[in-house]
Every structure is written in structure tokens, then in C-alpha cells.
Amino acid sequence: MRFHLEASLRLSADAGAAEKAISDFIRDAGPILEKGAPEGQGAKITEWRLAKNRIDLVIDSDRYVRAHDALLRLRRPLSELLGKQYRIGVRGMDVTAFEIEVESDREIAHRIPYVREMRHEGGRLRLILDVGEGGTLGQSEIENRIPDRIVSLLEEKLEKGYGGKTEHWELLWESEKREPKFRADPTEEMQKAGWIKHGSARGQWIYGPQATHLFRTFEAIVLEEIIGPLGYQEMIFPKLDTWDVWKKSGHAQGVYPEIYFVCPPKTRDPAFWEEVMDYYKVTHEVPLELVKEKIDLPIGGMCYAQCPTFWGFLQGMTLPNGELPMRVFDRSGTSHRYESGGIHGIERVDEFHRIEIVWLGTKEHTLEEAEKLKGCYKHIFEDILELTWRTAWVTPWFMAQEGKTGLSEMTGAGTVDYEAILPYNGNWIEFQNLSVNGEKYPKGFTVKAQSGEALWSGCSGVGLERWASAFLSQKGLDPSNWPEEFRRRFGEMPKGIRFL
């Protein structure tokens, strides 16, 4: 990796009298430009000149001391030198050319922010950054480490290009294989039996009394076997996630292809919307192109992961030691994801129903709570639902979204997926997960403990559609084939809705 930077340091006065001192400083700047790099590596000033109240520099470097870092390193000691001896200050910096070059056997198709042009020649990819007059990258962006983020993004894109990163998956435990009582697609059978019907939106279902009662039974099991015994308190989390929430939670790094965006109207003034309403009255069609002109930029999206909005309740607060661990849950509304992998039945839907379980405390609290939850889930899936299922250690969501694989660097943090076999197609479906997220959320939302000890958190989403898919795929719709304990909790099958 190579960097080429042409920049100027703006001075508060003509520095002609200081030219010899500046020359000596630049001649002896090697230790500053090479600090932290292997011997013979780092940055070098390949050209420079003094132009009255401006020092023009050309810096070439490798990956060890990047050229923009070298420029920042020079600023302070040079400012001290000129200030003490010549009463001249360094007022700022201007960037006139900035190029990054990496080895690559291919081009990158998508535009990268702050990059004006990309060229692929002779096995190298050259990025020409958008600097100079009218450019988007200047002093503020250099100081805010934008070039480093460009490099990270570039490396991620190049690495993904070679087949993409595969998620880490490691089997932890597997139940005994139970003979399935059913081998049909449960969604198709539920439709035939009148339990469910398609909603009007993509990946959306309307659940009749029978399916709803099944969901409520799952919900009651969670309340009786997890929420009550472990002492979780119910809360209501907002179901609109703003950009501010997603930036703090980390979702803003990669959530865009899967969210349903929320755009407010530019105004509530009926006169502003009159032509839209008139068009509908005449045509009985909604003029979507016209509507698009009258809505504002997205303020965020519909609930995607359920727990991020909870953290606004704790943001910036310090929690008393006696309140830890904190245990809460939410079951107040739907979650929405645009399933890029394709929707299928009630297994992969865009609108789904979940109970979100969240806990936080010290690292020890959080890991201990995770083990308690794992014990509760095992009891439910083995003794009540009697599923054929397994657990696996997988790439945590917060690493997958950053293009990383493997296990978390934070020992103990990570995600366990619960998977059940679908007899009708032989595939395994992830129907439950449990994540220990380490310090990610407390740090992102600046939540502290009275003791000063680092806070950790965890979350676990109970997806009712996924539980139904796993259970009905193996047991079918006939209650006589259901485990006795589950049948007892389910009670009488609702009559359902009949049609002529």
C-alpha cells in the first residue's frame, strides 16, 4: 500500500526569515515520520518549498505511517518551533493532491466516498481522492480520520471480492434425532386449513385464531419458563429506529439493504397535498411519483432489531451497583426487514413478531445470565416442544456487519444460534438466538456503572414465526401429534373463521 500526499501548511505570516530553521527541521524529521514503523519504513518528505506564508509539502509513505498521519505529526512540533523563535503560527492545512495505491487484481465497481476517481493498472488499484478546490476532503476530514476509514473500506471490499467472507459456524450441541410426525410445508398446510392468509404487503401474513393461539402459547411458555423465574421486567421499546440510534448501536454500518425506510411528509398542510388527493379522487390510483416529491428524507426505519431503541432509556446514565444486573423484555410490536435472501412462507418474512430479551451488568453478570437463558431454552425445546435441534457458535452480528469473521476478540462475547431441522426439505432453520454483545451497547450509548466497572449486555430474540415453523414442520397441525406437555399448555383449539 502506498500513499502520495501533496499539502500545504498555512502560516500566520511570511516565514522567509525562518527558512533555514524549517529546512533543518524537515531534514531531521525522520524520527517523527518513521516512529512506530519497522526499520527503513514509514513516511518521507520527498519535496518541499517555502512560499512566504505557506509551506508546500510532498509526502510519500507506506502502510506503516500513512502520509496524512505524517502531516498531522509534523504540525505540532513545527508550530512550536515557529511560534517560539519567530512568533509565527500554523493556521491550518490545505490538501491539493492525495492518492492511495494498493495491490489488486481487479477493479471495484462501486463508488467510494471522498474518492474522485479509481484506476486499475498493472495489478494495482489507484484511488485519487476528491481534494483541492471544490473537493470534499480537506483538513477537517484528515483530522477526523476519514482517509483511514477509506482504507478500511477498501480492504473490506477487496477481501469480500474473492468469494466473500463466510461466517464462522461451530457446532456446540445437538439433540437426539426425533422421528418427525409431519413432512409437509407447514405454511402451505396452514393456508389450506384457514389458519393464515397473505397480507397485502410483501412478506406479511394475517394470522387467524388458530395460528394466533399457537403464538400466544409460545409467548406464555416464555413468560412462565424464562421471564418470571429469571425476573425480567416488561418495557415498551419504540418501533421506529432513527439514524442516531443506529449510529450508536452499530447498525448504521450495514443495515441499509434490509430496512424499511421511514420518510415524514414535508408538511401537514392539506393544501400542499391537495393535488395528490385530487388525483386519487379522479383516478382511484395513488400518484406515487407525486407523493415522492412531497415526502422528506428518511429519518430512520421501521424496527429492525428491536433492542437498540431501548438504550435511549439509559443513554448517558450511571446505574447503581444494586440495580445490576438489569433484566427487561419487550413484546409490544412487529419488526420489519426487507429479506434480501428471498421470502418463504412464515419462515422468512418481512414483518414478524418477537419477544426481545435484554440484560446488562458486569461481564460476570452478563455471562452468567446467558447461561441461565441457555438452560431455560434447553428445557423448553427438549421437554415441552420436543424438537430435533442443535446449537452453534456463529459470527456475532456486530462483527458480521463490519465484514469480520471468526470469534469475538472479547472473550465470552458472541452469538449462539439455535437451529431446528425442517423435515419437508431437510434444511436447518435458525429459530432462536442468544448474543452476548460485550461492551458494544453500553459504550455506544455511554451507559456506566457506579462502580466504574465496564458494563456488558446481551440480547435474545424469540421469533414467534420461527418457533412456529420449527414446531409445525416437525409435529404438524394435528394436536394429537403434539407433545403432551405442549398440548396441555395449548388447551382447546380455537374454532377459527368459516366462509361460505
The one-letter code for the residue type at 97 is A
Confirm or deny that 339 is annotated as ligand binding: yes
Taking CA 192 as the corner, what is the angle to CA 190 and CA 195, rounded to the nearest 5 degrees?
40
Three-state DSSP at 265 gives strand
* 25 within some domain: yes
Residue 290 lies in a domain: no
* 348 catalytic per annotation: yes
Q: Is the peptide bond before 287 cis (omega within 30 degrees of 0)?
A: no
Place of cell 405442549: 486
Domain boundary among 156, 181, 210: 156
Q: How confident is the model at residue 400 (pLDDT cuts 50, 70, 90)?
A: low
Q: What is the pLDDT of residue 121?
A: 87
Q: Is there a catalytic annotation at residue 466?
A: yes
17-45 residue pLDDT tens = 999 999 999 999 999 999 999 998 999 99
439 shares a domain with 405: yes
* Burial grade of 258 (CB within 10 A; 0-12, 13-18, 19 or more): middle
pLDDT score at 399:
57
**In the prediction, which pLDDT does 169 show?**
83
- Asked, for residue 121, whether it belongs to a domain, the answer is yes
Tracing cell 465496564 back to the chain, one arrives at 454
Lookup: cell for 339: 429479506
436 is in an annotated binding site: no
DSSP output for 218-261: HHHHHIIIIIHHHT-EE----SEEEHHHHHHHSGGGT-GGG--E
Residues 247, 384 within the same domain: yes
Highest averaged pLDDT of the listed ranges 119-123, 245-249, 402-406:
245-249
Regarding whether 405 and 481 lie in a shared domain, the answer is yes
145 and 202 inside one domain:
no
Q: Is 355 annotated to bind ligand?
A: yes
Pairing verdict, β 54-61 and 196-198: unpaired
Q: Do 441 and 353 share a domain, yes or no?
A: yes
Q: Are residues 96 and 218 in the same domain?
A: no
Nearest to residue 456, comparing CAs of 331, 315, 324?
Answer: 324
Contacts of 442 (CB under 8 A, 6+ apart): 360, 448, 454, 455, 456, 457
Within-domain flag for 96: yes
Which of 348, 390, 487, 489 is labelled catalytic?
A: 348
Q: What is the mean pLDDT of the chain?
A: 92
The total of structural domains in the chain comes to: 2
Q: Domain ends where: 91, 121, 156?
A: 156
Q: For residue 302, give the CATH number of its domain.
A: 3.30.930.10
pLDDT at 407 > cutoff 60: no
Last residue of a domain, one of 156, 188, 210: 156
Over 90: is that where the pLDDT of 135 sits? no
pLDDT at residue 73 is higher than 50: yes
In tens, the pLDDT along 335-359 reads 999 975 567 889 989 999 999 999 9
Q: Is residue 269 part of a domain?
A: no
- Counts of helices then strands in the chain (DSSP H, E): 16, 22
Q: Is 459 annotated as a binding residue?
A: yes
Question: Residue 360: inside a domain, yes or no?
Answer: yes
Strands 334-336 and 351-361: antiparallel
Here the CATH number for the domain that contains residue 99 is 3.30.70.1920
Active site residue 417: yes
pLDDT digits (tens, 9 = 90+) for 244-282: 999 999 999 888 989 999 999 999 999 999 999 999 999
Q: Are residues 183 and 149 in the same domain?
A: no
Q: From the candidates 156, 258, 430, 439, which is the catalytic residue? A: 430
Same-domain check for residues 115 and 179: no
Catalytic residue, candidates 307, 330, 350, 351: 307
Q: What phi and psi, each to the nearest 5 degrees, are found at residue 358?
A: -130, 140
Q: What is the pTM of this model?
A: 0.77
Q: Is 323 annotated as a binding residue?
A: no
Quote the domain boundaries for residue 122.
1-156
The answer to which of 60-74, 161-175, 213-227, 426-440 has the lowest mean pLDDT is 161-175
- Half-sphere exposure of residue 96: CA atoms within 13 angstroms, side-chain side: 11
pLDDT band at residue 229, thresholds of 50, 70 and 90? very high
- The pLDDT-based confidence of 154 (bands split at 50, 70, 90) is confident
- 493: in domain: no
Q: Do 240 and 109 fall into the same domain?
A: no
Q: Are residues 199 and 109 in the same domain?
A: no
Say which of 337, 347, 351, 437 is annotated catalytic. Answer: 337
365-398 pLDDT, tens digit per residue, is: 999 999 999 999 999 999 999 999 999 998 776 5
Q: Which position among 6, 356, 369, 419 bears the catalytic label?
A: 356
pLDDT tens sequence across 439-480: 999 999 999 999 999 999 999 999 999 999 999 999 999 999
**122 in a domain, yes or no?**
yes
Which pLDDT belongs to residue 165?
Answer: 44
Annotated ligand binding at 354? The verdict is yes
Output the pLDDT for position 401.
52
